[in-house]
Chain A
């Protein structure tokens, strides 16, 4: 009998047994961690929904906004979210006041007629400067994830203008925080369905936004640099070619505002005879309303994928959304395509400018090109 061997084996066995005891503990720890993380996400959503619901408890008038960030998020998510909020909690139209800028209040016409135009009460330069400083302070994001004093001040002005003693505020941060999990891919599309209500958008009327006569059958164009349409010489070359081709077939109305209200630089191409700029009709106060009206009356819209291009199909206009890199847009493209189809809106075609190069093709006009699409 080899006692040392037996002792060693028994010791090894005992150690392994003891060591294996940690397994249930590890399992439990990992489960606890999972539950905690899940609960954290659910708790955030519950808290946000409670926060949203509390706005309706007092019966106070509700200021909606101020929306001062990206036009695209406003068109694709914020307006449908506000519409959902109104119908879910059965808020009366006259109990809400929309605070937006640039005449975008028109997009909310079916929700409430009450609008507060920010540029009526502040200089555009102050607005641009504030947005720039806010973006810088928020690590580069323009999204309104909280309500800083500048916006509180704007809300206070809106309240005072409205002439009510007290208001509740449906702030964009509620939506941004609520939808964050969806944009990150942690919630199904049905989550968005549960918190939005999409409808076609009526453009502002002639009375609201009078415009001079525009050429018949024009195509509206709005091209600006973005993450998905990087400003490179090749991009400029292809865009210039696109405009040439379009201008041979249709009058073009360029929606360049000449205003620097956000972080997107507009592409500025020389305007030929068939190309007119809408710049002179636009002021900071009405630029979005004017663009909406021009797009709504156009035979088509061609623009950078993002921003007002998300709105164009909801105005009923066929839209070509150009880009060079779709990876920043996939989730929004999915939402947008589905929404436009359900609504029966304008046709929406994302167009990757780099698509034709591998084929050795480039864009050409209807009459000159042999390959007619």
Chain B
């Protein structure tokens, strides 16, 4: 028989290596199917060992839901279903589990459940049933179905299956639609209580013990007949394992005192962004070292990091503590398992917060201790369901202390006199790890259960009731579920349901009558110059749109000054989205220009078209070098995100400097993150371009004073060129050659003004272009505070603009100059910005804009040459 064992990555097979070997030994063909063979948490050593262990074991890659099969939206639906699970009363005492699920859940579902009906049990259950019904109607992933057909397994095992919004349900669904036998071997002890809801009932669920069986039935609604208790096959090997070295050898290797007992601290995989375990460990070490009991105070300490959290310890100074050793790795093969076993076996006691290592220590007979402090317990210990099993099942495994003093006192016992076999550990193991008897291994029971499954006839292919209706509704519901609560708040702005937002809504209602709608035909309308047929455009009623309107009206209501910006990132986004957005804000809320203080860099005041009386340049406050350094720091703070997704520290500092310079004490900040929070719905394709249309006011950039004076320093007729290396036109040798020859040919017919400044203000590298003859540089004209204003003036006077395709090139059409841009990597930029840009340029009557693919033209062997007759100017 062929058994297809699907796992997210090889790390999950760690708990099944014995089972896989046993199934292969029984003559089954075991196909290990990994979604990702190169996953960072995977274990190549384990795979090597499994494949070497039997010729009946082979490995393959499992396909995933294909692009175009709406994987992201289906995930939203699944996250919604999982979230509903955590709204059940059983999770009332585990708020973090609930909050975690809520943060990932689609906004729409969270709102449904905040409705009075949704708060009631019946409403919640109805929504859950409805979503599960819809999930069943999600089209089976074709690549997965095709793959399963080709593999033709007799049974499909899927693990771990239970992460929130797990895409692994696609395998279960496809297998069931094909009428294949399915099984879920539960990977770990907490998987049924703290993670996803199991739906699409598998034919068999293999659990460790009666507790898990009860969870499967109570929490997941699985029929008890489908749930088989085998014991924890993952730990069978520990029951017969023997130390590979003597205690003295072990202690010598680890540098621990040979004449003293040691404590093993096992780290946990705590919820991200809750508490820092290194801080806890530091306090714990101090408590040990400060003990009045010499047996405790002088004990060695071995700290075993959690394999997934080693990086947290990078800044921890172990040298400051005596006899404290940091050591350990994931036990996947003979050596690492030996290391792990010996470290537990030789320890006097094992200490930690909440980890599966407790169970292994219990199997090995060690006394297991923990400290329950409210700060750590609220989310990571008593704030989970599975932790309570450690304290209750068959008397509980843990020696629990509620303070460090109590804990230290408890440790005194095992440190003074070694406990060979802790009674609590034995009893817990008997109930939780080997419920069929301490001498009855789980692996044969697991294998027998699979054998039994293989003898049963497969269930007929599954089809949900009223599938047609469900399929009809599905796209609509998926569209509504498109956003998670995580990305809703427009950074710094009120959320739709905050008290602040409600207050703003009221103010908005009273102010609405005073505010006329922003009229005119947007250049984004599909037919240039013609208004759309519908008055109400998609996107106008989204929560994010509400937040923006409310925030803007809130600012408008009290007459305080408004600092707009600071804008520190790409010129393209500023031109295409930010400036039109600011113009919309000013017009929508009828803001007096005297109230607005635009903050940008490089002298872009003219871009904002008189919307504000005040303009402050960042280069007034910083040198270019300082600016670059601080801006880089801002980007680093945002984990590499260049865009203004939140009011970063540098932004805040600039705003304060501007406020101080203008003696503003009480003011608002219109930060770009408000716009990013809104328009991301368009960029992520959740809303059409109408959303941008609604919140922008486009127009050409008018000439400002002093532009003519700048142009007087240039040739009478010229073409402007600005080439820089970016993702669309990387600075490769071929592209450099192209640019050089293009400019050489251009200069045969006209003067060329290069806009490449000598100073680097942003993240782009300029091409190094030879000047001389008719190619001119303008370095002498460029000052940090006015460099963009100067470039704007120069571009306006040019016959044409030629350069790399990128955001900066949007400036030229907006000052009425025809533009030709080049790229060589069409995958290097996003087409939606280009589409918006071209619609805008055409709509506002700007210059022409063309983008040409250098590589493609090269492929056709097409070149350019000066037009015969020598007329350069169009």
Contact = CB atoms under 8 A, between A and B. Distances in A.
A360 B871 contact: yes
A191 B482 CA distance: 12
A166 interface: no
Contacts of A337: 826, 831
B827 A373 contact: no
Interface in B554-589: none
Interface in A323-364: 326-327, 330-331, 333-334, 337-338, 341-342, 347-352, 354-364
B742 interface: yes
A359 B860 contact: no
B512 A27 contact: yes
B802 interface: yes
Nearest to A54: B468
Contact of A358 (B737, B818, B842, B855): B818
B689 A194 contact: no
Given A330-B835, A342-B68, A249 B861 contact: yes
B820 A34 contact: no
B543 interface: no
A110 B831 CA distance: 29
Given A190-B686, A358-B820, A369 B864 contact: yes
Given A185-B525, A187-B538, A358 B862 contact: no
Nearest to B818: A358
B839 interface: yes
Given A320-B856, A358-B800, A373 B738 contact: yes
Given A189-B685, A349-B857, A246 B862 contact: yes
Given A347-B855, A355-B848, A359-B820, A372 B479 contact: no
Interface stretch (A45-53, A63-71, A207-215): A45-53
B856 A349 contact: yes
A235 B319 CA distance: 78
B537 interface: yes
B526 A184 contact: yes
A349 B831 contact: no
Interface in B789-821: 799-800, 802, 818, 820
A41 B476 CA distance: 13
Given A184-B533, A349-B852, A370-B741, A23 B866 contact: no
Nearest to B719: A359
A7 interface: no
A318 interface: yes
B592 interface: no
A333 B835 contact: yes
B873 A360 contact: yes
Contacts, number: 232
A34 B545 CA distance: 15
Given A49-B472, A189-B685, A363 B864 contact: yes
B788 to A, nearest CB: 23
B164 interface: no
A37 interface: yes
Most chain A CB within a 10 A radius of its CB, from B535, B737, B852:
B852
A362 B864 CA distance: 5
B865 A249 contact: no
A159 interface: no
Contact of A373 (B540, B820, B857, B867): B857
B688 interface: yes
B750 interface: yes
B218 interface: no
B864 A364 contact: yes
A350 B524 CA distance: 20
A201 B832 CA distance: 25
Interface string A174-195: 0000000011111111110111
Interface residues of A, number: 79
Interface residues of B, number: 87
Interface string A80-109: 000000011100000000000000000000
B686 A188 contact: yes
Given A38-B536, A53-B471, A188-B682, A326 B838 contact: yes
Interface in A11-45: 23, 27, 33-34, 37-38, 41-42
A317 B124 CA distance: 53
B860 A249 contact: yes
A355 B864 CA distance: 12
A76 B729 CA distance: 28
Contacts of A250: 860-861
Nearest to B742: A371
B279 interface: no
Contacts of A53: 468, 471-472
B120 interface: no
A219 interface: yes
A184 B532 contact: yes
Given A370-B745, A371-B865, A354 B468 contact: no
A368 interface: yes
Interface in A288-336: 299-300, 302, 318, 320, 326-327, 330-331, 333-334
B846 to A, nearest CB: 12
Contacts of B478: 194
A38 B536 CA distance: 7
Nearest to B798: A358
A366 interface: yes
Contacts of B857: 349, 373
B733 interface: no
Given A359-B719, A359-B800, A361-B745, A186 B139 contact: no
B526 A371 contact: no
A318 B862 CA distance: 14
B639 interface: no
B663 interface: no
B854 interface: yes
B226 to A, nearest CB: 28
A183 B799 contact: no
Given A185-B526, A245-B862, A358 B874 contact: yes
A198 interface: yes
B409 interface: no
A183 to B, nearest CB: 7
A173 interface: no
A359 B802 contact: yes
B708 interface: no
Nearest to B140: A90
A46 B528 CA distance: 30
Given A88-B139, A300-B859, A356-B864, 14 more contacts: A33-B535, A37-B534, A38-B536, A49-B472, A194-B478, A196-B68, A250-B861, A318-B859, A352-B848, A355-B848, A358-B874, A360-B874, A365-B863, A372-B863
20 contacts: A56-B468, A188-B538, A188-B687, A190-B685, A193-B68, A245-B863, A249-B860, A327-B528, A342-B67, A347-B859, A350-B851, A358-B818, A360-B867, A364-B865, A369-B865, A370-B744, A370-B745, A371-B864, A373-B857, A373-B864
- CB-CB nearest 7 A-B residue pairs: A369-B863, A360-B872, A355-B850, A373-B857, A364-B865, A358-B800, A366-B861
